[in-house]
């Protein structure tokens, strides 16, 4: 039986009336995305048609999910909101703080020892406020959500950018910062700019070596890392219904890599099969009652150009397997063409590691397809040329895969089975075979491959592919290996060819698990105590931010970031994850990965007070101590990647008043607003070039800060010359109120106290 079945029934019971009303108000057939959005309006039934990409709309999400790295700050904020219990079903999943090193048993034991303070804090806060808690080792948040909580037609938010994975079960599931989650936990509306809509029509059927992963790798190559910004991607067509539910999840998961608000698929037979296989017959039965409302209207899919802002068509019959990378997930190359490109660019052809798992590709189907390749290597006496690491998606997946002999296949190939956790995908990997900055290549089935992402080495060239392709290439040890056409030399000196992968959509014997790792909260948490030591290095109670104010004069340039500046550059993960609950300590990693446009070095900026160069956090602290506000300048798609609000909270904590860029990634821009900062874009992108290293910055009309009104900034250069530039913003009045109060949380506390 499903969690929260009464909530799910309520969503379905109102859906027909609300969607029918919305269709009348809008005056045309509706996409699935629109049906879900209009069914979750905070004010109930629709009374007006919203303009895509323009209107801010209040929504009422059905549930929230948080992972342990982001949950710390989210719950620290919620503790200040003055509420006794969360207003909507909420879960916390411990999957980020487990380092992959020796194997599941030893790694999990070490994590429980090293991070016990954090796990105990999360467990006690969850128990106090009515939050479901998933223990370390229970699984990766998004796989656990897909198996237990996602439901067709639902709307959820999560404090992780890959919350979008739940689109594989027909949800509108959106990654947010912790402050957004706090709003909903506190019983308030959640605001989102009504998304644009991108339709992806899939025809045909996957075959051979091509997998669902290749669909999104292809889409990423088409749309790039910012092509989906501000949009929901809705997949439809015969090809969509031919995909498995977990395959759909994989596609939606990596929608985060194109900047999409989320991605989704209409409810179909594969979703029903998955619901029933994961012991949710009750959800499937309810969904079937409103089946026509859980997919787009027929007219929409027959004439998609009339109803979507952009339409892409992909023929699965002819789609080729891809490997994307290195250093960016949208650099798409069909397998077979990678060798020439690698030689041209100097990418190492020798592959040292193949990593399978992560929230993107760790389902039963994924493991069986990869295992079918691994078994061939064992049976055909082929010795793997690369090391293997496997991260099952959940304890249910791991237990079932072990029962069915799938894990033994990998172990026969000398693979290391890591904990059911994120591991190398988020930099939680103690890699024994590499040190320093040695140039090397790895292949993995993860979603991101930014510089330093997996192992902290800026010269690790990471390529993203399907689990079965990762297995084949890792076995060959060559980046230019094409399993569809090339042969391998086995231990007997024979040339052998790998057969096409075979997989199972669902386990023939059903899923099974002895202990899934879930802890139900007590009904009355009023007596639960939460203790945070004032001397803790891991946890720190929050102090409310003071308003920045409507006069910013004499501010100094902190850093002008050059090129790609993701949330990994702004607030690195890996070893820094240990400080996610301690704002002051983790602020010591602020922008240390960003490349300074002046000198092209990382973590090396000029201190205008002394004329000397030092690390970004050190210089920021000196300006803050002197009472001087600072400004950060950036390039396109600033804040791409993870939802981590630390990338906004750290600059706020260290005295940054404004971030001015050519363009923002959606979640990061919202996070800046939530923390009471200015997130601004150049009205003229060329003005980025006017910013000089010794600039002093004055805001000339911030006292007139208002929706749809440009702001004017004066740049005072070291030689006394000046430039005046215009900057744009997307703040509405509610968001300006956040700024004026110092943060969105300050406003929540004020409203709760009144």
Contact 235, 200 (CB under 8 A): yes
Q: Annotated catalytic residue: which of 18, 644, 653, 668?
A: 644
**Three-state SS annotation for 41-102:** ECCCCCCCCCCCCCCEEEECCCEEEEEHHHHHHHHHHHCCCCCCCCCCCEEEECCCCCCECC
Active-site residue, 717 included: no
Q: What's the rounded Cα separation, in Å, for the pair 117 and 606?
A: 38
The most distant pair of C-alpha atoms in the chain lies apart, rounded to whole Å, by 80
- What region does 100 belong to: left with phi over 0, alpha with psi -120 to 50, or beta? beta
Q: Annotated catalytic residue: which of 62, 68, 95, 687?
A: 95
According to DSSP H, which parts of 422-528 are helical? 467-476
DSSP annotation of 117: H
Active-site residue, 642 included: yes
The two structure tokens encoding residue 452: 């330093």
Distances (CA, A) of 150 to 5, 171, 178, 638: 11, 7, 20, 30
Active-site residue, 285 included: no
Alpha-carbon Rg of the chain, whole angstroms?
A: 25
Q: Annotated catalytic residue: which of 4, 62, 68, 160?
A: 160
How is 538-572 classified by DSSP, letter by letter?
Answer: SB----PPPP--S---SEEEEEEB-S--BHHHHB-
Tokens 């034991």 belong to residue: 109
- C-alpha closest to that of 361 among 465, 233, 267, 240: 465
Q: What's the rounded Cα separation, in Å, for the pair 505 and 491?
A: 33
Q: Annotated catalytic residue: which of 63, 448, 621, 646?
A: 448
Q: What's the rounded Cα separation, in Å, for the pair 424 and 218?
A: 24
Active-site residue, 455 included: no
Q: What's the rounded Cα separation, in Å, for the pair 683 and 338?
A: 39
Q: What's the rounded Cα separation, in Å, for the pair 745 and 319?
A: 47
- C-alpha closest to that of 248 among 356, 137, 334, 170: 170
Contact 300, 31 (CB under 8 A): yes
Q: Annotated catalytic residue: which of 96, 398, 461, 652?
A: 96
Instruction: Give the number of residues written for the chain.
Output: 754
- The catalytic residues are 95-96, 160, 448, 642, 644
């Amino acid at each position: 039986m499903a969690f929260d079945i009464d909530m799910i029934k309520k969503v379905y019971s109102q859906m027909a009336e609300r969607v029918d009303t919305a269709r009348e108000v809008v005056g045309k057939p509706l996409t699935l995305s629109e049906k879900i959005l209009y069914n979750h309006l905070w004010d109930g039934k629709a009374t007006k048609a919203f303009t895509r990409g323009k209107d801010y709309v209040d929504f009422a999400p059905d549930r929230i999910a948080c992972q342990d790295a982001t949950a710390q700050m989210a719950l620290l904020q919620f503790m200040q909101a003055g509420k006794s219990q969360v207003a909507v079903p909420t879960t916390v999943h411990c999957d980020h703080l487990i380092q992959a090193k020796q194997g599941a048993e030893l790694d999990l034991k070490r994590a429980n020892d090293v991070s016990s303070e954090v796990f105990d804090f999360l467990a006690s806060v969850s128990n106090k406020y009515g939050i479901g808690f998933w223990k370390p080792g229970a699984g990766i948040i998004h796989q656990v959500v897909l198996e237990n909580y996602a439901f067709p037609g639902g709307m959820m938010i999560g404090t992780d950018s890959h919350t979008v994975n739940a689109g594989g079960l027909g949800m509108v599931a959106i990654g947010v910062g912790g402050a957004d989650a706090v709003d909903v936990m506190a019983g308030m509306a959640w605001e989102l700019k009504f998304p644009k809509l991108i339709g992806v029509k899939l025809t045909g059927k996957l075959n051979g070596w091509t997998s669902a992963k290749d669909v999104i790798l292809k889409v990423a190559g088409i749309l790039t890392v910012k092509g989906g910004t501000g949009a929901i991607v809705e997949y439809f067509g015969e090809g969509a219904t031919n995909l498995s539910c977990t395959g759909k999840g994989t596609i939606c998961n990596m929608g985060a890599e194109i900047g999409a608000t989320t991605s989704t698929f209409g409810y179909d037979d594969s979703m029903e099969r998955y619901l029933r296989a994961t012991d949710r017959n009750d959800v499937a039965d309810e969904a079937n009652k409103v089946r026509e409302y859980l997919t787009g209207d027929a007219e929409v899919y027959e004439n998609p150009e009339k109803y979507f802002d952009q339409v892409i068509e992909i023929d699965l019959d002819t789609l080729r397997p891809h490997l994307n990378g290195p250093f960016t997930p949208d650099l798409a190359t069909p397998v077979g063409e990678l060798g020439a490109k690698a030689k041209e660019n100097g990418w190492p052809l020798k592959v040292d590691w193949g990593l399978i798992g992560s929230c993107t590709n760790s389902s039963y189907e994924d493991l069986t397809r990869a295992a079918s390749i691994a078994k061939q290597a064992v049976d055909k006496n082929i010795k793997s040329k690369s090391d293997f690491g496997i991260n099952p998606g959940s304890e249910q997946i791991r237990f079932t895969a072990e029962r069915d002999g799938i894990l033994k296949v990998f172990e026969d190939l000398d693979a290391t089975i890591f904990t059911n956790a994120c591991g190398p995908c988020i930099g939680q990997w103690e890699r024994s075979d590499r040190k320093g900055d040695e140039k090397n290549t790895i292949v993995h089935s993860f979603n991101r491959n930014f510089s330093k992402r997996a192992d902290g080495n800026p010269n690790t060239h990471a390529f993203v592919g399907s689990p079965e392709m990762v297995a084949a290439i890792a076995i060959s040890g060559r980046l230019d290996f094409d399993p569809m056409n090339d042969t391998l030399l086995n231990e007997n000196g024979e040339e052998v060819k790998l057969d096409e992968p075979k997989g199972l959509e669902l386990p023939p014997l059903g899923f099974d698990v002895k202990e899934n790792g879930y802890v139900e909260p007590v009904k009355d948490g009023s007596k639960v105590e939460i203790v945070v030591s004032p001397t803790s290095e891991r946890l720190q109670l929050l102090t409310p931010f003071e308003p920045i104010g409507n006069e910013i004069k004499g501010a100094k340039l902190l850093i002008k970031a050059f090129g790609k500046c993701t949330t990994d550059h702004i607030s690195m993960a890996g070893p820094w994850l240990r400080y996610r609950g301690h704002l002051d300590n983790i602020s010591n990693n602020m922008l240390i990965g960003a490349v300074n446009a002046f000198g092209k070095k990382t973590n090396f900026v000029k201190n205008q007070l002394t004329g000397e160069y030092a690390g970004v956090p050190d210089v920021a602290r000196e300006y803050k101590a002197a009472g001087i506000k600072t400004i950060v300048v950036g390039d396109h798609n600033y804040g791409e990647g993870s939802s981590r609000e630390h990338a906004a909270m750290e600059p706020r904590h260290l005295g940054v008043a404004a971030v001015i860029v050519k363009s923002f990634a959606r979640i990061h821009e919202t996070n800046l607003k939530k923390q009471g900062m200015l997130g601004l874009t150049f009205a003229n992108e060329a003005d980025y070039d006017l910013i000089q290293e010794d600039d002093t910055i004055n805001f000339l009309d911030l006292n007139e800060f208002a929706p749809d009104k440009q702001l004017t900034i004066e740049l005072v250069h070291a030689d006394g010359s000046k430039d005046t530039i215009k900057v744009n913003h997307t703040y509405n009045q509610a968001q300006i109120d956040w700024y004026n109060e110092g943060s969105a949380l300050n406003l929540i506390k004020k409203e709760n106290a009144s």
